[in-house]
Amino acid sequence: MLTLIVLLPLLGFLLNGVLATRLGGNLVGKRFVTVVGCGLPLAAFALTVQALFELQGQGYAPLVETAYRWALIGGSEFEIAFYFDRLSAVMTLVVTGVGSVIHIYSVGYMAHDKSYGRFFAYLNLFLFFMLLLVLGRSLLVLFVGWEGVGLASYLLIGFWFDDLANARAGKKAFITNRIGDAGFLLGMFLLFYAVGTLDMDRINAAFAFTGASAPAVSASLVGILLFIGATGKSAQIPLHVWLPDAMAGPTPVSALIHAATMVTAGVYLVARMSGVYLQAPEASAVIAVVGVATAFFAATIAIVQTDIKKVLAYSTVSQLGFMFLALGVGAYGVAIFHVVTHAFFKACLFLGAGSVIHALGGEQDVRKMGGLARRIPITFVTFAVATAAIAGIPPLAGFFSKDEILWYALASTSGGSPLLLLVAAATALMTAFYMFRLLWLTFMGPSRMDHEVEHHVHESPWSMTGVLLLLAMLSAVGGFIAVPHFLEPQLPLPQISEALHHLHKPLLVLSILLALAGLAGAAVLYGGAPDRVEALRERFATAHRWLSNKYYIDELYERFIGQPLVWVSDRVFLRLSDRLVLDGTLDGLGALGRSSGDALGRVQAGKLNLYLWFVMIGIVGALLWSWRHV
């Protein structure tokens, strides 16, 4: 049954990919694509729910299903096996559930696109690989899924590849991912070397032993290497540069891949390998620091962005940072909880942005929006609910997960510290601020739209607004799904230091206050006259420039990594190795042959004297030889 869950989207990819594209000659129409493209993921979701009941039925002992044996090398077996336990259940439900509704949304969004079939084929392909990733038993299957979602991401970011910038964004995503994968692979090699298997449950069990029977490799080293892979996939510093550029793809893609599911693969990886990270305090500390730094850093950039999708992109990076912060202090279940709530509200936000863009006929700059609240009410309401959720206003979903993260950042005995809390709290404040800024600029206030655009503003079709409503509802009530409690038998929550026990309630109040402060700040600045914002921008012009240009990180990479690599490729590999050494050797050998031929040819000078001199020497040689042998 697990195998069927994984294979249904693959079937969708094959059917739509062959029949509905130019490859197969456009044999089928849109209805077929819709039915296959949305129906198969929904079927996968239904099967997942059934699997969950089965899991419950057998007391949460993990379901294991081996599809087939891939390779037998030496004494080690490599199988394609699927593993369903509490963690996989949560992830798979999110992937298939949120994935299915986003598919339904795409029916409306991409209705007028000329490559309708190809889009659904790619989406189903992505779903297939993502399910491989979350259901795989061994790191090998996970890695196949890892690479596959990277491929699907590349294909979908560059979906409208007629514009070269989109293709370049797709390339950037893929290549940045690959850099992280180098670390991932090294971690895999070390694990295999130390433990002898790549099955994740066995690895976790092996690392549970300490002392003499512990695996012969530093858990921290493995932890850091795997985290490098996660940095690439989940857009943490320093490999975060691809996510904002990935907004070039269609909005459903941004929602599905770059908000709800693919970017959380890194979080899933670390949570799954919790057995290793429990033994690796140094690695966990690194993860926590990188996570909170990324969160802060991305939030600062989001404050000044003017593209609606870019704000959400940086917001995603920031929220992912929060998740890694939770992982770093040992609160694995809480991180997964935040994955779930984030999937709800971020998908709602992205799809809402898509609805706005659809309504405005393609406009994405918030400076040209405004006053949309009454024109597209459903979109406005759902967007507002999701914004409140991400800001952390109770009792919406984001409040619960974010509060847990802040609490464990302070109080966890495995890495919590006040400094982490400070930075995280500042980030939470900024999150609330920029999200409400976005809400105000897009929907409230006087309209700054072009007249042509304003004329055509209309609410989106039911396929889109229906999904928005569903996701908004989930953002509202999703916090009451006690995910950390559900996962606790498998992913235990960290210990709380005794001294800080009494700070739980005050921290709760603090987080509510931060959210409200962000709301108030945004309302004051953006609800009033625009010159107030202008004055602020002029006061902090330099800071504004730095933030708008994303701290010039892309330029930094280009200058210090890109250009030296190009130099090395050009000078060392092309000119030196290829032309000088390789071509030179071959040409040299040819020239050597030719010149030796010329030299030897001079023997035949046509001079009788020379020939007879050789005869003389030959006779001498023959006689000398005869002395020895005759």
Partner 1 sequence: MTAFIDGLLGSLDTLLLIVFSLCALAGATLMIFLRQPMRVAIALISTMVFLGGIYGLLGVHFIAAFQVLIYVGAVMVFMVYVIMLLEVRELGGTRYSRLLVPGLIGFVMLLGVVLISIWRALPAPAGASGAGGNTAFGISEFSIAFLNEYWLQFELTSVLLLAAVVAAMAVIKVSRRTDKTRPHG
Partner 2 sequence: MDKTQLLLAVAAGLFALGLLGVIVRRNVLVMLMCMELMLNGVNLSLVTFAQQTGTTAGAVLVFLTFVVATAEIALAIPIVLLLVRDKRTLDLDAYSDLKG
Which residues form the interface with partner 2 (CB under 8 A)?
Answer: 601, 604-609, 612-613, 615-616
DSSP state at residue 577: I
CB of 592: closest distance to partner 1 in angstroms? Answer: 27
**Residue 627 engages partner 1 in binding (rule: CB under 8 A):** yes
Q: Which is nearer to partner 1, 560 or 613 (CB)?
A: 613
Region from 142-150, 351-359, 553-561, 616-624 binding partner 1, contact rule CB under 8 A: 616-624
- Select from partner 1, partner 2, none the partner in contact with residue 606, using the beta carbon and a kind-dependent cut-off of 5 to 8 Å: partner 2
Which entry of partner 2, partner 1, none binds 604, CB below 5 to 8 A by partner kind?
partner 2
Window of 92-100, 150-158, 585-593, 614-622 that interacts with partner 1 by CB under 8 A: 614-622
Distance between CA 176 and CA 246 in Å, rounded?
12
Residue type, 94: V
> Which partner in partner 2, partner 1, none is near 72 (CB below 5 to 8 A by kind)?
none
CB of 600 to partner 2, least distance (A): 11
In angstroms, give the least distance from the CB of 596 to partner 1: 22
Provide, rounded to whole angstroms, the least separation between the CB of residue 175 and partner 2: 59
Asked if 142 contacts 185 with a C-beta cutoff of 8 angstroms, the reply is no
- Closest to partner 2 by CB, 446 vs 606, is 606
- Chosen from partner 2, partner 1, none, partner binding at 193 (C-beta under 5 to 8 Å by type): none
Q: Which does 620 bind (CB under 5 to 8 A by kind): partner 2, partner 1, none?
A: partner 1
Instruction: Measure the CA–CA gap between 418 and 424, rounded to whole angstroms.
Output: 10
The Cα 44–Cα 123 span in angstroms is 14
| DSSP three-state, residue 236 | coil
Answer for the pair 8, 37: CB distance below 8 angstroms, yes or no.
Answer: no
Residue closer to partner 2 by CB (options 542, 609) is: 609
> E-assigned strands of 49-155?
63-73, 76-84
Contacts of 362 (CB under 8 A, 6+ apart): none
Q: Measured from the CB of residue 614, what is the shortest distance to partner 2 in angstroms?
A: 10
Q: Kindly tell me which of 574 and 620 has the beta carbon lying closer to partner 2.
A: 620
Rounded Cα–Cα distance for residues 445 and 461 (Å): 25
> What's phi and psi for 232, nearest 5 deg?
-65, -50
Q: Are 125 and 10 in contact (CB under 8 A)?
A: yes
Distance (Å, rounded) from C-alpha 55 to C-alpha 52?
A: 5
Nearest approach, Cβ of 609 to partner 1 (angstroms)? 5
The minimum distance between CB 617 and partner 1, in angstroms, equals 6
For the CB of residue 619, give the shortest distance to partner 1 in the complex, in Å: 6
Cβ-proximal residues to 31 (8 Å cutoff; 6+ apart), any chain: none
Number of residues in the chain: 630
State how far the Cα of 596 lies from the Cα of 612, in Å rounded to an integer.
23
Give CA separation, 405 vs 147, 215, 283, 285, 490, in Å: 29, 31, 18, 15, 19
617 binds, among partner 1, partner 2, none (CB under 5 to 8 A by kind): partner 1
96-107 as b/e: b if 16+ CB within 10 A: bbbbbbbbbbbb
Site for partner 1, residues 551 to 610, rule: CB under 8 A? 607, 609-610
Instruction: Please state, as a whole number, how many other Cβ atoms lie within 10 Å of the Cβ of residue 171.
Output: 15
Q: Output the smallest distance, CB 605 to partner 1, in A.
A: 10
Q: Which is nearer to partner 1, 209 or 611 (CB)?
A: 611
* Residue 429: both structure tokens together: 């404040």
Rounded-to-5 percentages of helix, strand, coil across the chain: 75, 5, 20
CB of 575 to partner 1, least distance (A): 46
CB of 564 to partner 2, least distance (A): 53
- The type of residue at 566 is V
Smaller CB separation from partner 2, 162 or 598:
598
Residue with Cβ nearer partner 1 (541 or 600): 600
Nearer to partner 2, 71 or 599 (CB): 599
| Closest listed residue to residue 153, CA positions, set 136, 166, 142 | 166
**Which option in partner 1, partner 2, none does residue 628 bind, with CB closer than 5 to 8 A by kind?**
none
Question: What are the φ and ψ backbone dihedral angles of 216, each rounded to 5 degrees?
Answer: -85, 50
Helices 265-272, 332-359: axis angle to 10 degrees equals: 170
Q: Which of 193, 613 has the CB closer to partner 1?
A: 613
Q: Which is nearer to partner 2, 562 or 621 (CB)?
A: 621
Residue 482 binding: pick among partner 2, partner 1, none (C-beta 5-8 Å cut-off by kind) = none
CB of 627 to partner 2, least distance (A): 15
Of 542 and 609, the one with the shorter C-beta distance to partner 1 is: 609
Q: How far is CA 337 from the centre of its chain?
A: 18
Total site size for partner 1, rule CB under 8 A: 12
Q: Which residue among 212, 616, 628, 629 contacts partner 1 (CB under 8 A)? A: 616
- Rounded distance, CA 268 to CA 264, Å? 6
**Nearest residue (CB) to partner 2, 216 versus 616:** 616
Rounded CA-CA distance 102/252 in Å is 6
601 binds, among partner 2, partner 1, none (CB under 5 to 8 A by kind): partner 2
Q: Which does 624 bind (CB under 5 to 8 A by kind): partner 2, partner 1, none?
A: partner 1
Name, in order, each residue with C-beta under 8 angstroms of 400's C-beta and a sequence gap of 6 or more: 337, 341, 394, 479, 480
Q: Name the residue nearer to partner 1 (CB basis): 58 or 609.
A: 609
Q: Pick one of partner 1, partner 2, none as the site partner of residue 623 (Cβ within 5 to 8 A by kind).
A: partner 1
SS3 152: helix
Q: Which amino acid is at 158?
A: G
Minimum CB distance to partner 2, residue 608 (Å): 6
Q: Which residues bind partner 1 (CB under 8 A)?
A: 607, 609-610, 613, 616-617, 619-620, 623-624, 626-627
